[in-house]
Structure 1
Amino acid sequence: MDYRRLGASGFTVPALSFGTGTFGGKGEFFQAWGATDVTEARRLIDICLDAGLNMFDSADIYSAGAAEEVLGGAIKGRPRDSIIISTKATFRLGDGPNQVGSSRYHIVDTVHKQLKRLGTDYIDLFQLHGFDAMTPVEEVLSTLDQLVREGKIRYTGVSNFSGWHLMKSLAAADRHGFPRYVANQTYYSLVGRDYEWELMPLGLEQGVGAVVWSPLGWGRLTGKIRRGQPLPETSRLHKTADAGPPLEDEYVYKVVDALDAVAAETGKTVPQVALNWVLGRPTVSSVIIGARNEEQLRQNLGAVGWSLTPEQVKRLDDASARPAAYPYWHQAGFAERNPAPV
C-alpha cells in the first residue's frame, strides 16, 4: 500500500481507504448499497489490514448510525492505534430543530454519540459533511478547536464544500488560530471532474488533501455498464441514480470505451484502471473504495502498486474531458499565468 500525507498536515494515510456506506443497510437508500453486519465487516477489515489499508470512513447518517455501530463492533479488540477512523456529521439525523447543521450544540452532541457508536475515545479525522450557511464559521471552528483540545478528534476536514466555503473557513482559522482543515472529502472520478476547476487548485495552494468519494462515478465505472446493454439487475443505479450527478449515456460510453482499451493493455480491470487514474491526480491523499463482498474488495485493492503510462492517462483525460464553466474556460486561455494543477 502507498501511504501519503493528508494535505499539508504531518498525518500519513493509506492511498486507499475503505468506505462503510455498505454497513448496516437501514433504509431503502442504504439497503441498495449493502447490509454488511459485524461478522462480515470484520472479515472485510481483515482483508483491508492485510493489504495495508487501515483507514475506514463512515458518517452519522449512514444507515442512521448503524454503519458506525457495525464499524465499531468490527474493530473491537484491535489495537486502536492500528486503525484510522474517519467520519462525518452535519446533515439531519433526528426531528429536533438542533439535530442538523454545524452549530456548537449539534457538533458536540453528535461527536459524543459517534464516539459511543464507534466504541472509541477519539476520531482521527472528523469532517463536516456539508456547509452550514446558518452557522458562523467562527462558531464551527471554535467548536472543532475545543474538541481537538479535549482529544476527541485529531484532524478536521470538510466534504461537499464549494471553493469559497472552504477558503472562507481557512481564512477564519488563520485569523483566530484555530486548526485548519487538512482534508476535503470530495466527489471525483473520470465521469465527474468538476473538482479540478476550483477545489483542486485551492487544495494545492492551501494544503488541503482530497479524500475522494465515489471514484467509480456512482457505479458507472464498475465495468458492468456497456453500450447497448441494460443496467445489470443488481446495479444500485436502479435505486440511487437520481441521487448522483446526471450524465448523458453517450458520454459514459465514451469514457468506458477508453477504459476498456486501457484495461486490455494493462491486464487490469475497468474499475482498477478508473481508480488508478484518480490516485494519480494532484492533491489526492486517499481514495475511498467500497465493497459488499470480498471479491469486490480484493478487485478494488488491485488498483495500487502499478501506474498508468502518460499516454494512457492522456487518452483517459481526453475521453472524459468536459467543457469548463466560466471563468475557468477563460482562465485556460492564459495558461502562462494560470497553469493547470500538477
Structure 2
Amino acid sequence: MVLSMSRLAKGDSAVAVPGLGRADEIGEMADAVQVFKTNMMETERLRAEQSAHEQRQSQQRKAEMHKIADAFEGAVGEIVEMVSSAATELEASANTLTTAAERSQQLATVVAAASEEASTNVQSVASASEELTTSVTEIGRQVQQSSQVANAAVNQARKTNDRVGELSKAAGRIGDVVQLINTIAEQTNLLALNATIEAARAGEAGRGFAVVAAEVKALAEQTAKATGEIGQQIAGIQEATLESVGAIKEIGDTIGRMSEISSTIAAAVEEQGASTREISRNIQHAAQGTSQVSSNITDVQRGASETGSASAQVFSAAQSLSVESNRLKLEVGRFLDSVRAG
C-alpha cells in the first residue's frame, strides 16, 4: 500500500491499488487511495485537454495574426509603393521644371540684350529724324511757292496719322513692335534715298540736307539689323501691321504724285518734311514698344527665377518624401516581423 501511494505521489497513475474490496481498515484505506488515484487521473485528463485547447487557440490566434499581417502588408505596402513612385515622379518633374526655368532665363537674357540694342538704335534714329525735320523746315521757308502742294501732303499725313492711331493700340504686343520698327526702317531707307536725290536736285541749298539723309539711312540700317536679331530670339512674334504699312505706302505714293505734278524742289522738300515728321512720331511709338519689351523680358526673368526656386523646393520635398517612404517601409517590415513572430 505504501509503495502504491508513493508511486501515485510521483504521478504514476498506472499503479494498481492493493486491498480493494476488503472490509477492514486496509480496505477503507485502499478505497480512499483509489479515489485519490481516480481524481488524479481526472485532473491529468483535464490538464491535457486544457493544454490541447490552449495550443489550438494559440495556433488559431497565430494564424489570424499572420492573416491580418498579410492583409496589412498588402494594403500599406501598396500605399508605400504609390508614395515612393509619386516621389520619384515628383523629383523628375522638379528636375524638368528647373531645366526649363534655367533655359527661360538664358533666352530672356539674350532677348533683353537685343532689345536694349534696338532701343538705343531707335533713339538714334529719332534724333536724326528730328534733325532732318529741322532741315526740311528751313528749306521749306525758302520756297513758299510749293505751299499748296505741301498742304495736300499734310492732309494725307493726317489721314495716315489716324490710321497709325490704331497701330498705337496694337504696339503693346511685342511682335507688332518688332515689325513696326522693321517697317519704319525700310521706309526711312526709301525716304533717305529719295531725300538724297532731291537734295542733289536742290544743289548747294540741299547739301546739308543730303548729309542728314545719309546719316538717317545708316541709322535705319542699324535699326533693321537690331530688329532682325530680336526676331531670331522671339519666335512667333512676327505679325505684320499691314494697315500701317499701307498707310505709310500711301505717303510714298503721294510723294511720287507730287514729284510728277511739280518738278520744283520746294514741293518735294515739303513732302519730305511731312514724311519725316510722321516717321518721328512712329519712332517714338517704337521706342515705347521696345521699352515695354524690356519690361516684359524683366518680368520673364523674374518669373523664371521664381520658378527655379520653387522647383528646387519641390525637388527637396520630393527627396524628403522618398526618404520618409523608405523609412516607413522599413518600420512596417519590422512591425510585421514582430507580429508574425509573436
| TM-score where L is the length of structure 2 | 0.17
Rg comparison, structure with higher value:
2
Q: Which has the higher strand share?
A: 1
Q: Which has the higher helix share?
A: 2
Q: Which has the higher contact order (CA 8 A, sep 6+)?
A: 2
| TM-score where L is the length of structure 1 | 0.17
